[in-house]
Amino acid sequence: MNQSIQIRKIEQTDNAALAKIIRSTLTEFGANHPGTVYYDDATDHLFEVFQQPSSFYFIATIDGEMFGGGGIYPTEGLPENTCELVKMYLLPAARGKGIGKMIIENCLEKAKAVGFEKVYLETMPELEQAISVYEKFGFEYLKGPMGNSGHFGCSKWMLKEL
């Protein structure tokens, strides 16, 4: 079965489906607790959130159906040359197909193109699969958080030099 995978920019009509994917993924891994994007009001309005300058969000579709996404964002409190890799979630059917890698590559390319020199991310132990992907991309562990994401539920922090 030959599937058509596409990575595209977020559209306003993606908001509801994307919020559902994010929350279902966090629930699947038992990571749907306070201090995570599960409870962020912004999770329901990601198109609007990613209208901020130097922010980008990419949607992954397979045969036209949305299966997840990820983006970069100039999170408040981060150094000027640093953005955050954010809202990186994929449904089970999209995992293991290289889609996460495609999204991260798009994010890193865009971050570099707009002048960022480093990419930061926050995650949690429950998202083990994602952490191993971040490690393969060269993200290195930090001892504590950077910036003011407000996600006190995240206990792992990583940084990559572009």
Q: How does pLDDT run across 14-35, given as a tens digit for each residue?
A: 999 999 999 999 999 999 988 8
pLDDT (0 to 100) of residue 2? 64
pLDDT (0 to 100) of residue 101? 95
Residues spanned by the domain of 90: 5-161
Average pLDDT over residues 95-121: 96
Residues 36-64 pLDDT 10s: 899 999 999 999 999 999 999 999 999 99
Q: How many helices (H) and strands (E) does the chain have?
A: 4, 7
pLDDT (0 to 100) of residue 3? 78
CATH number of the domain to which 102 belongs: 3.40.630.30
Average pLDDT over residues 144-157: 88
Q: How many domains does the chain have?
A: 1
83 residue type, one letter:
C
Task: Please tell me the pTM assigned to this model.
Answer: 0.93
Residues 64-96 pLDDT 10s: 999 999 999 999 999 999 999 999 999 999 999
Look at residues 97, 90, 53, 50 and name the one whose alpha carbon lies nearest to residue 71: 50
Percent of the chain with pLDDT over 90: 86
Residue 15 neighbours by CB under 8 Å, 6+ apart: 44, 45, 46, 47, 48
Confidence band for 118, pLDDT divided at 50, 70 and 90: very high
